[in-house]
Structure 1
Amino acid sequence: MKKFLDEHFLLHNRTAQILYHDYAKQMPIIDYHCHLPPAQIANDVRFENLTQVWLYGDHYKWRAMRTNGVDESFCTGAQPDFAKFEKWAETVPYTLRNPLYHWTHLELQRYFGVEDILHASSARNIYDHCTNLLQTGDYSVRNLLRKMNVKIVCTTDDPVDTLQEHQQIKASGFEIKVLPAFRPDKAMNVANVNVFNDYVTKLEAASGIHITSFQTYLDALKQRHDYFAAQNCSVSDHGLEQIYAADYTEQEIATIFQKLRAFKTLDVNEQLKFQSAMLYQFAEWNWEKGWVQQFHLGALRNNNSRMMQQLGADTGWDSIGDFTQAAALAKFLDKLDRNNKLAKTILYNLNPADNELMATMIGNFNDGSSAGKIQYGAAWWFLDQKDGMTKQINALSNMGLLSRSVGMLTDSRSFLSYPRHEYFRRLLCNLFGEEIENGELPNDEKWVGQVIQDICYNNANQYFNWPK
């Protein structure tokens, strides 16, 4: 019987072990999409205890704790930090076969050298050990990134953000690049006219442009897009239920905008037209600047209205949605391609039923202008686990070129999430190793090792237009 989480974890044959330990393990990390707070990097924060770095903001853990019958006060409430950790420790034994079990113990091992299993009886010792380490300089936020061999981090930032923290990080000489990513979803969210108009007020303040028309609204957003570019941004991102690709005219959009500014609610068709116009405009600007654009599609967010009202967004009440994706996505990409304005694009799906859809969609617009121009992105959110990663890798392998993939990202708010890259790399090496040992692939260690290193790091390093 193998030891749990030993050096050959997830590596089920000798070839897989060679591929991981000799090729994948050493590669640096590019985290080209995450939700890490740049202020904590700028200030090189030291967390007071393990709960603060591990449980604050982690809705994966909160969902498990709630399912285990833990009261909300121990998740997002005002209970003491150790009491919250103790409830998490009591929950961990019940997460067997959930990816949280693997991630929890990988993170304890990789960051803190803890090989004990976390449960109620071990909670106090593990908490004290990790908390003591976190209070030392070696465990500041920047050193946590260094410990995982991270080279580039892209945060997620709204157009109205000042990016002051990014400027502070750059001025400090921190050797890891921490770059902003432009996420303008609030600028096209018109379901609530009051919220939208509040956003317009913020945009006016950020851009210095008085917004009186749709054109001046675009001018203000373009000013922010340019500002982000000046701050070394070269990546955009959208988190949408589905792509917006309705037909519209310029006059229609101008009229819809005036209706919004008059605080008049839009009907569904007007909302879709406005969102379609904005999405296309952002994509044009991305193409003009040579940015990479990302589309995260398929989340059904904020399903529990009672808890949404009580706690707000991003607190663990989202799920996989069953939206229709193909026709609108194809129409949107085709319009950009037809006008020769299709930027490098990464597509992510949350519904696994869409795996093959996405894997074949990218082939429609990979035109040979650059290797892997249109990417099928790594398994995302609820699919970011052993089964989901394997299915995404297999779909891409079967219908595209896995060898040109830009690989893994964290999409995380936690500085302890970087073992997810290791998890992905081990699964990747195991898939190649099994097929080599089965005689399904040639036993060409040098070439396969190169392909694995490309997926882990080299492809992303070359794909994105990183600042020099």
Structure 2
Amino acid sequence: MNTHLQSPAFLSDDFLLQTETARRLYHEYAQAMPIIDYHCHLPPDQIAADRQFENMTQLWLYGDHYKWRAMRTHGISERYCTGDASDWEKFEKWAETVPYTVRNPLYHWSHLELKNPFGLTDVLSPETAQSVYDTCNEQLPNLSTRTLLRHFDVRVVCTTDDPTDSLEYHRTIAKSGFSVKVLPTFRPDKAMAVDDPRAFRAYVRKVAEVTNRDIRTLDEYLDALKSRHDYFAGMGCRLSDHGLETVYAEPYLENEIKIIFDNLMLNWSDGLHVLSPKDNLKFKSFMLVQFAEWDHEKGWTQQFHLGALRNNNLRQLRTLGPDTGWDSIGDFPQAVALSRFLGELDNRNKLAKTILYNLNPADNEVIATMVGNFNDGSVRGKIQFGSGWWFLDQKDGMEKQINALSNMGLLSAFVGMLTDSRSFVSYSRHEYFRRILCNLFGNDIENGELPNDVNWIGQIVQDICYRNAEQYFGF
């Protein structure tokens, strides 16, 4: 008698769903919910042009530093990542790498993206590379950027944009009558990046040029940036975003900040003025408060992506530039600065809706408890512990974020998943998240830890997948 249980098929319709209740929650409640992608890095020019991709490499591998890191680790030359190899050669090397990514989220993501939208269930390998490449390429003429967004039932896309961006492509998209809202997000990191005085002065000049005004003083700089904030609002913007190691909350006097700005803008005979570490923090803290107050005035949501240690490999940074795969998790202290920053805004009743994304899993409980300090009942889930981000938007990272939020807050008020991606097929990550979420709830029900009320839990699942975000952002 054979007592061995048959292993489930890889990537079946019940992928990651371990119980019958989990399967019901996913298939009956989560699967068909639309998507609000409230934070991503999709290029708006490609949506405006309704770009079609010549081949699968252009759609799948261009700009994807997740895949590049894996390929490099597997021993693949940089020529096949960011170099001058042909598109087919790059795809072939990725297919060579994929079998060795087992237990890395790339293995799941890649095969989910082949299954949806391409309908392929083949495991990608050197043996299947040519057939997968050809089959996907044959479908690409019917899969432009806009048809992909419609295919995944995306209702809103919030891109990530510098204050000096013209937003011309957002205007083009809006005028075209495209059914998906494509809205900008105000990301003013460069506006307070005084670590490099030369680059900061160049940025101030760019702000002056875009706003058609002279900028000599701090007040003139703030007025110019505020005009861009107003412009973004007029273009439908509902969110700001900041990518920081930690929130800046150094005490300062406004007169000190004016002097710091004046010194930065002066021509020094011995070169550019370099700030002391304390003055650097004071200036950034001041600017962060200005942006936060503007967000509150407009009813926006401010987002903080915390904890990345960027550009660790200086040799490769010089060669390839930023955002090419040389970043990692940092171990920065978060609690004290967050408490001071959020607390001072709240004390003056100027704390906007806020999402905190944490990159270091050691800080999950810190963030989960911090958000509870400032949820004042004015807005449901006003301060959010954001979804697993970057290195943590994988099964283990998502489960840890969900569990920390569940244990110390209200998972039911969570605004759910986002892509944080530059790829138009990354919406499979929403499916991944939804399957993980339903599996956790399903296991709790079947373990007797929650009542067997699938309809009620199913409604909470739908809220997390879509309705909470729709209400929270006012879409």
TM-score, normalised with respect to structure 1: 0.99
Structure 2 residue 418 is the aligned partner of structure 1 residue 409:
yes
Aligned partner (choices 301, 310, 321) of residue 301 of structure 1? 310
Amino acid of the structure 2 residue aligned with 1:366: N
2:371 is aligned to 362
Measure, in 2, the Cα distance between the counterparts of 1:237 and 1:72. 31
Measure, in 1, the Cα distance between the counterparts of 2:220 and 2:213. 7
| SS across alignment from 2:116 | helix
Measure, in 1, the Cα distance between the counterparts of 2:43 and 2:372. 35
Please list every run of 5 or more consecutive structure 2 residues that lacks an aligned counterpart in the other structure: 1-6, 267-271
Q: How far has the Cα of 1:246 moved from its partner?
A: 0.5
Amino acid of the structure 2 residue aligned with 1:49: N
Q: How far has the Cα of 1:141 moved from its partner?
A: 0.5
Q: How far has the Cα of 1:207 moved from its partner?
A: 1.2
1:219 is aligned to 223
Q: How far has the Cα of 1:465 moved from its partner?
A: 3.0
Q: How far has the Cα of 1:128 moved from its partner?
A: 1.0
Aligned partner (choices 432, 435, 440) of residue 441 of structure 2? 432
For residues 25-63 of structure 1, the C-alpha deviation after alignment (integer angstroms, 9 at most, x for no partner) is 010000000000000000000000000010000000000
Aligned partner (choices 123, 126, 136) of residue 120 of structure 1? 126
Measure, in 1, the Cα distance between the counterparts of 2:68 and 2:211. 37
1:36 is aligned to 42
For residues 408-458 of structure 1, the C-alpha deviation after alignment (integer angstroms, 9 at most, x for no partner) is 000001001001000000000000000100111000111100000000000
Q: How far has the Cα of 1:201 moved from its partner?
A: 1.1
Aligned partner (choices 234, 237, 241) of residue 238 of structure 2? 234
Structure 2 residue 70 is the aligned partner of structure 1 residue 64:
yes
Amino acid of the structure 2 residue aligned with 1:309: R
Measure, in 1, the Cα distance between the counterparts of 2:22 and 2:147. 30
1:79 is aligned to 85
Structure 2 residue 100 is the aligned partner of structure 1 residue 100:
no
Aligned partner (choices 249, 254, 257) of residue 250 of structure 1? 254
Measure, in 2, the Cα distance between the counterparts of 1:72 and 1:195. 29
- Deviating more after overlay: 260-269 vs 313-322: 260-269
Measure, in 1, the Cα distance between the counterparts of 2:107 and 2:45. 29
Measure, in 1, the Cα distance between the counterparts of 2:235 and 2:181. 12
Amino acid of the structure 2 residue aligned with 1:274: F
2:19 is aligned to 13
For residues 381-404 of structure 1, the C-alpha deviation after alignment (integer angstroms, 9 at most, x for no partner) is 000100000000000000000000
Structure 2 residue 276 is the aligned partner of structure 1 residue 267:
yes
| SS across alignment from 1:296 | strand
Amino acid of the structure 1 residue aligned with 2:153: N
| SS across alignment from 1:293 | strand
Measure, in 1, the Cα distance between the counterparts of 2:212 and 2:259. 23
Amino acid of the structure 2 residue aligned with 1:418: Y
Measure, in 2, the Cα distance between the counterparts of 1:113 and 1:82. 21
2:96 is aligned to 90
Amino acid of the structure 2 residue aligned with 1:236: S
Measure, in 2, the Cα distance between the counterparts of 1:389 and 1:178. 26
Amino acid of the structure 2 residue aligned with 1:62: W
Asked if structure 2 preserves the Cα contact closer than 8 Å seen for 1:290 and 1:465, the reply is no
Asked if structure 2 preserves the Cα contact closer than 8 Å seen for 1:153 and 1:179, the reply is yes
| SS across alignment from 1:347 | strand
1:300-319 equivalences under 5 Å are 300-319=309-328
1:140 is aligned to 144
Measure, in 2, the Cα distance between the counterparts of 1:465 and 1:109. 33
Structure 2 residue 379 is the aligned partner of structure 1 residue 375:
no
1:422 is aligned to 431
2:393 is aligned to 384
| SS across alignment from 2:155 | strand
Measure, in 1, the Cα distance between the counterparts of 2:189 and 2:74. 34
Q: How far has the Cα of 1:133 moved from its partner?
A: 1.0
2:194 is aligned to 190
Asked if structure 2 preserves the Cα contact closer than 8 Å seen for 1:291 and 1:465, the reply is no
2:294 is aligned to 285
| Identity across the alignment (%) | 65
1:321 is aligned to 330
1:448 is aligned to 457
Structure 2 residue 339 is the aligned partner of structure 1 residue 335:
no
Measure, in 2, the Cα distance between the counterparts of 1:213 and 1:370. 37
Amino acid of the structure 1 residue aligned with 2:421: S
Measure, in 2, the Cα distance between the counterparts of 1:111 and 1:394. 31
| SS across alignment from 2:103 | coil
| SS across alignment from 1:369 | coil
Amino acid of the structure 2 residue aligned with 1:334: G
In the TM superposition, structure 1's runs of 4+ consecutive aligned residues that sit over 2 Å from their partners are none
Q: How far has the Cα of 1:280 moved from its partner?
A: 0.4
Aligned partner (choices 140, 147, 150) of residue 154 of structure 2? 150
2:3 is aligned to none
Structure 2 residue 25 is the aligned partner of structure 1 residue 25:
no
Q: How far has the Cα of 1:202 moved from its partner?
A: 0.9
Measure, in 2, the Cα distance between the counterparts of 1:250 and 1:89. 56
Aligned partner (choices 48, 53, 62) of residue 59 of structure 2? 53
1:161 is aligned to 165
| SS across alignment from 2:460 | helix
For residues 220-267 of structure 1, the C-alpha deviation after alignment (integer angstroms, 9 at most, x for no partner) is 100000000000001000000000001111110000001111231111
1:463 is aligned to 472
Amino acid of the structure 2 residue aligned with 1:226: D
Q: How far has the Cα of 1:303 moved from its partner?
A: 0.2
Q: How far has the Cα of 1:209 moved from its partner?
A: 1.9
Structure 2 residue 203 is the aligned partner of structure 1 residue 199:
yes
Indicate the RMSD between aligned Cα atoms, in angstroms: 0.5
Amino acid of the structure 2 residue aligned with 1:349: N
